[in-house]
Homo-oligomer: A and B are copies of this chain.
Amino acid sequence: MLNFQNIIEDIYHDIIKHKNYGEVASYIPELASVDSEKLGVCLTTVDGHVFHVGDWQDRFSIQSIVKVLMLSMAYSKLGGQLWQRVGVEPSGTAFNSLGTLEYDEGIPRNPFSNAGAIVVSDVLIDLYDDPRQAMIEMVRAVSGDPSISFDPRVAASEKAEGFRNVALANFIKSLGNINNPVDDVLNLYFDCCSMAVNCEQLAKVFLFFANHGHTTDGSLVLLNPSQTKRMNAIMLTCGFYDEAGDFAYKVGLPGKSGVGGGIVAVLPNHFSIAVWSPRLNEKGNSYRGLSFLERFTSETKLSIF
């Protein structure tokens, strides 16, 4: 068996020795003020081991990674009907593009673009009495940490500056694919994105996707096994915007990134791994996070391919 602790420590120490690249997200002050040189890693396995290194206890903004959780909450209740509202195809465009919507009649190409997640947010309002509560309870239960919460300052800043997302939501509304008031939909979306988590919590939550949709102790079920596979497929093809092909090619794991610098990935039946480092490459994905994962799957030869 591989010594995961040694492996992640070796890669960690090697990466922090090398020059860091990219820019910290700066469109809101709460993200801009993060220490750009942080690097945290946590790996959790389906047989109950946890390995970590670096700044794995620091909390950061989950941002787009939460789209996977939002989608899971909608998919577990609606099943395949959900795909009438949002597709599962990679879009070939940037995360916040409006381009293809105009031709697709308001059906976002996939649920991990901002447009897609906004539609999922609208779906959650219809499906849950209190979707915020449902989301936060699930994350707290899985991670075992009742202190996890949304960050109201981050959410407020997103609302104040999120003209592009306001544009997306209104555009989709004009095309008929949003039922609820735009402000309600965006508020839920911004709140979810503002959740503060650390690497260990994130890895634990995503262990669902490595473990057929339930917690390793079987106490909590997010999705059934078939749905879980399909979530992994969507993460693989759509989880990294217009860098999804590159991530599949270099890392070879289903995963999702966020503009807060987090990346989480899973090897079905084996493990989940969360990496956090704030500087982003030009596609909006963590520079050191990508490096770490590429090194990790190359050295361990662990990938779905």
Contact = CB atoms under 8 A, between A and B. Distances in A.
Contacts of A244: 89-90, 237
Q: Which of A170, A228, A246, A249 has most B Cβ within 10 Å?
A: A249
B232 A98 contact: no
A278 to B, nearest CB: 22
| Interface SS of chain A | helix
A261 interface: no
A252 B273 CA distance: 21
Contacts of A63: none
A86 to B, nearest CB: 11
**Copies of this subunit:** 4
B90 A93 contact: no
A182 interface: yes
A167 B163 contact: no
A92 B246 CA distance: 15
B92 A100 contact: yes
Interface string A79-109: 0000000011111110001111010000001
B163 A182 contact: yes
A248 interface: yes
29 contacts: A88-B248, A88-B249, A89-B90, A89-B92, A92-B93, A92-B100, A98-B98, A99-B99, A163-B173, A164-B171, A164-B174, A167-B168, A167-B169, A167-B170, A170-B170, A171-B171, A226-B298, A229-B252, A230-B305, A232-B305, A233-B252, A233-B305, A234-B245, A234-B248, A236-B237, A237-B248, A238-B245, A254-B305, A268-B304
